[in-house]
Structure 1
Amino acid sequence: MKKLMELMAEELASAFEKAGYDPEYGKVTVSNRPDLCEYQCNGAMAGAKAYKKAPFMIADDVVAFLKDSNIFSVAEVVKPGFINLRVKEEFLAEYLCKMAADPKYSVNTAEQPKTIIIDYGGPNVAKPLHVGHLRSAIIGESIKRIGRFVGHKVIGDVHLGDWGLQMGLIITELKHRKPELVYFDDSFEGEYPEEAPFTISELEEIYPCASGKSKVDEEYRNEALEATHQLQQGKRGYMALWNHIMQVSVTDLKRNYNNLNVSFDLWKKESDAQPYIPDMVQQMKDQGFAYEDQGALVVDVKEESDTKEIPPCMLLKSDGASLYTTTDLATIVERVKLFDPDEILYVVDKRQELHFIQVFRCARKTGLVKPETELSFLGFGTMNGKDGKPFKTRDGGVMRLENLIADIDEEMFHKIVENRSVKDQDAKETAEIVGLSAIKYGDLSNQATKDYVFDIDRFTSFEGNTGPYILYTIVRIKSILNRYKEEGGNLDAGEILPAVNASQKNLMLELTKFGSTIENAFEEKAPHKICAYIYEVSNAFNSFYHETKILSEEDQAQKESFLKLLGLTKDILETSIDLLGFSAPDRM
């Protein structure tokens, strides 16, 4: 289905051509002066130099061919040569009827669908999710959903950190606390217990304790490094403990991600990439890319155009141990082998940009990916508190994600109960739905690459550019539609008719932008554009609602038209928030 802007541009291009000018000048933009017109064309201004003619003369020639337009009710020239445009109410109504009948409301399915892997989440096992994990999960989930909606095959991978020093620290601390455990008995040859020798709560206490010790006790740290090495060499008892750590951690991670309405297709781990490392490293040596530098194995990745120093990409440390770069490169090898993706997108903290520049360049230089395979980095900014510093708990610690969600839910619960709009037994469930919108919209409404202030008071408000305001708008529409249905009305009857007032036409024009907004949001990996769009739609709807008698309209055909328009507005808003990763309750 063609976008409204495309149809308008075709009409303008045709008029320019008929008037004897290059049709390329017939581009249309949304007016920056909505009090004067809805759209405008500045092509006459651009063509003045080429045709050695005053812009208003060119514009006059073009407008002469728009007098019988099916699309425009007004096409007038404003000096020095702007063409101001207004859309016919009849044409707009017909366009919205077609949108309503389109399963994707004018979003076109990609002609050449890609296979895209999104690497988002990235938690370390044995550690609780904290607010630092929020942005990757929320942004990655939204981009995954948008990509699928426009027709691509998008695969989400959590990419767990499970193979580093934290494993050696946990094993070492367990050994100190419970040396009698069978996992530490080298002579043991039987089956290890099925049940883990710790709970998730104990595990989450063990790691920071061990980490703290390793920073002040060099002997303890060396013991942990040795335990890490033995695990990576496949020591039987340590592998059994590792399996317990993984099982307990992943179960808890899935529960927490589920509370965020975030899901992954793959629960791949750093350890999954380990088998690919030896051959990959050997290949880089054989091809002459990898060389020794002060005992470490590195690949040069600097380029002549670099304006800052890009250090070599280190594959192996002097003791032969692998690093994050090694694991990330081996993960690319694994992904290419298993999925042959057209693009791999990493949604990670922007402070890791240098790391990914090194990894991407190394992967390309050494032929780990095809030349046409895209390796993309979406670096997000920091979530800060009101003091402008990274978000912390009141005592200065890093806040656990589940505690943040609980705080938001509690705030929403109090506001909903104060409103007395939902029965007490439903208020808790409603608060969780609205609370999630507050968190996700609060994050996603900011451009991903920028830092932002996480302000609970503002994000949970029912007014302004917030998730709860968007949901309140959807719930208001649902309430009107339900009331009409309860009164015996048929929501399938009738069709959208031409607008009867300015606020209705404004809402209709906003709805036509859905397709281009979604396609553009995917193209630019920019969920904030969807947030900005639904805020405009919500404002337009609420203006229309306050200025128009909907259910008390006496003309039945007009009433049915209003309700059809409400239905389309609801569908577009609900589709949009689903792409952002949250939903709306029935009441608030």
Structure 2
Amino acid sequence: MEKLIKKISTIMEDKFEQCGYDRQLCTVTVSNRPDLCQFQCNGAMAAAKKYKKSPIDIAKEIVAAVENEENFENVSIAGPGFININLKDSFISNYINNMYGDSKLGCTSDVDPMTIVVDYGGANVAKPLHVGHLRAAIIGESIKRIGRFLGHKVIGDVHLGDWGLQIGMVISEVERRNPSLPYFDEDFQGEYPETAPFTIDELEEIYPAASSLAKSDEKAMEAARKATFELQNGRRGYVALWKHILNVSIADLKKNYGNLNVEFDLWKGESDCQKYIPEMVELFKEKGFTYESEGALVIDVAKETDTYTVPPIIILKSDGATLYSTTDLATIVERVKDYNPDAIIYVVDKRQGLHFEQVFRCAKKTNIIKEDATLDFIGFGTMNGKDGKPFKTREGGVMRLQDLIQIIKDNVKDKLKETDTMTPEEVEEISRKVGLAALKYGDLSNQATKDYIFDMDKFSSFEGNTGPYLLYTVVRIKSILRKAEAEGINLSSSKEILHPYSSTERDLMLKISRFNEVVNLSFKDRSPNKICDYIYDLSNLFNKFYHDNRIIAEENIEKKMSWLNLITLTQKVLEAGLDLLGIEAPEKM
């Protein structure tokens, strides 16, 4: 379906052109003064400059031209030449009814669908997920879902850290603890055990112990570096042990990401791109992109127009070792080979901004990705505690993500009203869904690039701009519809939504009509917070409508059915918006 505001804009553009003015000057926006009008056109102001005429005179011409427009209730002039527009109720209800009958609620698939890779995990194997992984996971998941909803082929990649020094640290620590394992016997020729020599809990204890030792003991650090080198050069036992590390870690990561309602299509890591590095580096050399600087192989990516310093990107260190920049470039090579994407979106801590600017410039300069492909960096801010510093445990350590999920789930459970109608299993499931809504909405409702304060009590409140409030609104609608069915009303007998009977109903309809517009804008700007703002406003308008009208008690059956259909559509839009955020609504609360 065409956006409602686009329909209005086209009408006004035609009138501008009919009156002899450039249609491109006509801009229609949602009014910021809903008490005065629904939409506003400021095109007369822009036209006045170009045509050297008074804006009020131009506005009068346009208003006269739309006087008999069948879809407009009234058009008037305000101030020096602003054109105020109110729509006919029949126009609004017709648009709403078309949304009701559309499987995507008016959001038509993009006419030119793209193939997009979203890189939004970034977890390291052998380590537990912590709160620092939260934002990448839920922002990336939302962008992926929105893109798919609009018809794009979107591929989510976790992009694991599985090939660096931390693996060498783990291997060397396992050898210190159990040197008799066959992985450390270079003469061993048999089959290695299928079962890993450690559990996930043991593995998560091994890495910090190894890291701490390596920082304080140079011999331990050298052993880790040696193990990393030998692994990356194919030592058989180390490769087998590395595969155990991957399998145990990925199984746990899938469980923990699953608890967040986050899913990836690809479980690839830095190791997967290693085979592309030698050929890529040789290509860079052959094409004359590289030069040596202090023994390192680098490529200049600065531009004459830069107003800040963008240093050369290092491809190989002086000892021939690769860096994150090398593996990120090789990963682009791999993604182009496998998917030839139109866009790659990276959801990463904003402090990595310069790194990705270097990588993107190098990728375009060396032509490893097509010229018209988009490389987007969505740099997110930090989740901070009430002290304004990065969120920590009470002991001052980094909190595991699964612990944070459990804490907010328990917080919500304490707030759920005790009732005999809920079984313990239902309470558990409802608190899980509401807790996740509190956590995810509390994050996503903030602009991705901004830092924000994690406030458990605020986020888990059932009132205000929170996830639980939105879920409660959906549950309220479901309750009304169940009561209607209990009265014997066949909700499928009539799907028509009639013209609005009140201003609150009209406001609700107009807000619903903007769903298509908001979803498209949210994807264009990579801003899930726009969907959060929209469904919060929609929830407020529904609750106002609910308090102003006795829906179930309404005696006029035609009006009653129209209202029931309207709130059914409201529920659909709210749940669609929540799903785009990765949030599930329960049946009751």
Once the two structures are superposed, residues 266-318 of structure 1 have per-residue CA deviations (whole angstroms, 9 ceiling, x without a partner) of: 00111111111111111111222122222222112122122222222111112
Equivalent residue number for residue 470 of structure 2: 470
1:181-196 matched pairs, under 5 angstroms: 181-196=181-196
Once the two structures are superposed, residues 214-243 of structure 1 have per-residue CA deviations (whole angstroms, 9 ceiling, x without a partner) of: 111001100110011011111111111101
Does structure 2 retain, via aligned residues, the 8 Å contact 1:422–1:587?
no
Once the two structures are superposed, residues 156-215 of structure 1 have per-residue CA deviations (whole angstroms, 9 ceiling, x without a partner) of: 000011110111111111111111111111221111111111110000000000000011
CA distance in 2, matches of 1:99, 1:265: 31
Once the two structures are superposed, residues 333-390 of structure 1 have per-residue CA deviations (whole angstroms, 9 ceiling, x without a partner) of: 1111111111111110010111111111221222211111221111111111111100
CA distance in 2, matches of 1:178, 1:488: 71
CA distance in 1, matches of 2:16, 2:346: 44
CA distance in 1, matches of 2:448, 2:460: 20
1:421 Cα offset (Å): 7.3
Instruction: Give % identity.
Output: 57
CA distance in 2, matches of 1:263, 1:274: 25
Equivalent residue number for residue 146 of structure 1: 146
CA distance in 1, matches of 2:18, 2:391: 60
Aligned residues: 588
CA distance in 2, matches of 1:36, 1:585: 38
1:12-161 matched pairs, under 5 angstroms: 12-161=12-161
Equivalent residue number for residue 521 of structure 2: 520
Equivalent residue number for residue 383 of structure 1: 383
CA distance in 1, matches of 2:102, 2:175: 62
Once the two structures are superposed, residues 40-72 of structure 1 have per-residue CA deviations (whole angstroms, 9 ceiling, x without a partner) of: 112222222334433222222222222222221
Q: What is the identity, as a one-letter code, of the residue corresponding to 1:380?
A: F
Change (3 A) 1:50 1:239: closer
Does structure 2 retain, via aligned residues, the 8 Å contact 1:113–1:152?
yes
CA distance in 2, matches of 1:62, 1:328: 54
Q: Can you give the 5+ residue segments of structure 1 that lack an aligned partner in the other structure?
A: none
1:28 Cα offset (Å): 1.5
Change (3 A) 1:185 1:426: same
Q: What is the identity, as a one-letter code, of the residue corresponding to 2:520?
A: E
Secondary structure of the corresponding residue to residue 488 of structure 1:
coil
1:438 Cα offset (Å): 0.7
1:542 aligns with 2:537: no
Does structure 2 retain, via aligned residues, the 8 Å contact 1:122–1:158?
yes
Change (3 A) 1:542 1:358: same
CA distance in 2, matches of 1:420, 1:573: 28
1:86 Cα offset (Å): 1.2
CA distance in 2, matches of 1:292, 1:22: 56
Change (3 A) 1:308 1:420: farther
CA distance in 2, matches of 1:406, 1:546: 35
Equivalent residue number for residue 557 of structure 1: 558
Q: Can you give the 5+ residue segments of structure 2 that lack an aligned partner in the other structure?
A: none
Q: What is the identity, as a one-letter code, of the residue corresponding to 2:511?
A: E
1:583 aligns with 2:584: yes
Equivalent residue number for residue 510 of structure 2: 509
CA distance in 2, matches of 1:54, 1:373: 45
Q: Which moved more, 1:483-492 or 1:523-532?
A: 483-492
Secondary structure of the corresponding residue to residue 105 of structure 1:
coil
CA distance in 1, matches of 2:250, 2:303: 40
1:140 Cα offset (Å): 0.5
Q: What is the identity, as a one-letter code, of the residue corresponding to 1:321?
A: A
CA distance in 1, matches of 2:304, 2:507: 52
Does structure 2 retain, via aligned residues, the 8 Å contact 1:93–1:499?
yes
Change (3 A) 1:317 1:499: same
1:450-489 matched pairs, under 5 angstroms: 450-489=450-489
Change (3 A) 1:67 1:194: same
Q: What is the identity, as a one-letter code, of the residue corresponding to 2:89?
A: E
1:325 Cα offset (Å): 0.9
Secondary structure of the corresponding residue to residue 121 of structure 2:
coil
CA distance in 1, matches of 2:292, 2:36: 68
Equivalent residue number for residue 442 of structure 1: 442
Q: What is the identity, as a one-letter code, of the residue corresponding to 2:293?
A: D
Does structure 2 retain, via aligned residues, the 8 Å contact 1:417–1:424?
no
Once the two structures are superposed, residues 117-159 of structure 1 have per-residue CA deviations (whole angstroms, 9 ceiling, x without a partner) of: 1111110000000000000000000000000111110000000
Secondary structure of the corresponding residue to residue 76 of structure 2:
strand
Change (3 A) 1:278 1:26: closer
Q: What is the identity, as a one-letter code, of the residue corresponding to 2:346?
A: Y
Does structure 2 retain, via aligned residues, the 8 Å contact 1:421–1:587?
no
1:419 Cα offset (Å): 7.3
Equivalent residue number for residue 331 of structure 1: 331
Q: What is the identity, as a one-letter code, of the residue corresponding to 1:130?
A: H
1:293 aligns with 2:293: yes
Q: What is the identity, as a one-letter code, of the residue corresponding to 1:385?
A: G
Q: What is the identity, as a one-letter code, of the residue corresponding to 1:260?
A: L
Equivalent residue number for residue 234 of structure 2: 234
Q: Which moved more, 1:63-72 or 1:32-41?
A: 63-72
Equivalent residue number for residue 426 of structure 1: 426
CA distance in 2, matches of 1:442, 1:392: 17
Q: What is the identity, as a one-letter code, of the residue corresponding to 1:498?
A: H
CA distance in 1, matches of 2:363, 2:39: 47
Secondary structure of the corresponding residue to residue 416 of structure 2:
helix
1:5 Cα offset (Å): 0.9
CA distance in 2, matches of 1:514, 1:437: 20
Once the two structures are superposed, residues 4-62 of structure 1 have per-residue CA deviations (whole angstroms, 9 ceiling, x without a partner) of: 11121122223333444333343221111111111111222222233443322222222
TM-score by length of structure 2 reads: 0.98
CA distance in 2, matches of 1:509, 1:520: 17
Equivalent residue number for residue 374 of structure 1: 374
1:423 Cα offset (Å): 4.1
CA RMSD in angstroms comes to 1.3
Secondary structure of the corresponding residue to residue 457 of structure 1:
helix
Equivalent residue number for residue 282 of structure 1: 282
TM-score by length of structure 1 reads: 0.98
Q: What is the identity, as a one-letter code, of the residue corresponding to 2:148?
A: R
CA distance in 2, matches of 1:280, 1:546: 64
Does structure 2 retain, via aligned residues, the 8 Å contact 1:257–1:263?
yes
CA distance in 2, matches of 1:139, 1:219: 41
Secondary structure of the corresponding residue to residue 86 of structure 2:
strand
Equivalent residue number for residue 395 of structure 1: 395
Change (3 A) 1:354 1:24: closer
1:262-273 matched pairs, under 5 angstroms: 262-273=262-273
Does structure 2 retain, via aligned residues, the 8 Å contact 1:474–1:574?
yes
CA distance in 1, matches of 2:421, 2:33: 39
1:464 Cα offset (Å): 0.7
1:553 Cα offset (Å): 0.8
Equivalent residue number for residue 320 of structure 2: 320
CA distance in 2, matches of 1:328, 1:52: 54
Q: Which moved more, 1:51-60 or 1:270-279?
A: 51-60
Change (3 A) 1:420 1:513: farther
CA distance in 2, matches of 1:256, 1:505: 43
CA distance in 2, matches of 1:198, 1:179: 14
Q: Which moved more, 1:480-489 or 1:200-209?
A: 480-489
Does structure 2 retain, via aligned residues, the 8 Å contact 1:10–1:26?
no
CA distance in 2, matches of 1:418, 1:51: 68
Q: Which moved more, 1:54-63 or 1:156-165?
A: 54-63
Does structure 2 retain, via aligned residues, the 8 Å contact 1:493–1:560?
no
CA distance in 2, matches of 1:329, 1:510: 44
Change (3 A) 1:180 1:462: same
Once the two structures are superposed, residues 470-498 of structure 1 have per-residue CA deviations (whole angstroms, 9 ceiling, x without a partner) of: 11101101111111112211112331011
